[in-house]
Amino acid sequence: MKKINQLKQFLLERNLLNNSTTGTHQFTIKDGFIEPFSVDNSGFQYHFTLTISLSAYCYPFNELIASIVSWMQSNQPEALINTQSRQQAIKFNLDNITDNQCDLTIELKLSERIKATKKQDKLEFDSLSDRLILQEPLEKYGHK
């Protein structure tokens, strides 16, 4: 899934996954489901919760959270449109809290739209931009 790798790269470029010499990070998916969305059944959407587990993450982690919020605004804007979805879009838990580090778990509600197109007798799958989707009428993708 393209968004997971984009988020990892985004956080790595900002050195937010490497701030602890003993810490590790893990990305997992749970609660996933698939929703067809196009009239010709060639498009579908993944819906899932991405769990980012960071063990022995050093304080403070405000920059990490601010970066994730910024990434969500650019890459998952529909999750932040209204109050109810915003309250579910980004969650966190802390364990093993010490003077300067903790085990931090962040859960993100994500979705990714995939459209299949036939090219040279084979199917290719392209991830559709959320910005593109939000700017175009949903009827184009089979929604009424």
For the chain of 144 residues, list the mean pLDDT of each consecutive stretch of 10.
Answer: 91 80 80 83 88 91 95 94 92 94 96 85 74 45 41
Does 36 sit behind a cis peptide bond, omega within 30 degrees of 0 on the bond before it?
A: no
Total structural domains in the chain? 1
Q: What is the dihedral of CA 65, 63, 7, 25, to 10 degrees?
A: -80
pLDDT of residue 144: 39
pLDDT of residue 21: 43
Domain containing 71 equals: 2-141
- 3 state DSSP class of 59: coil
pLDDT of residue 23: 63
Q: Which residues contact 88 (CB under 8 A, 6 or more apart)?
A: 79, 109
pLDDT of residue 139: 46
Under 8 Å between Cβ of 105 and 115: no
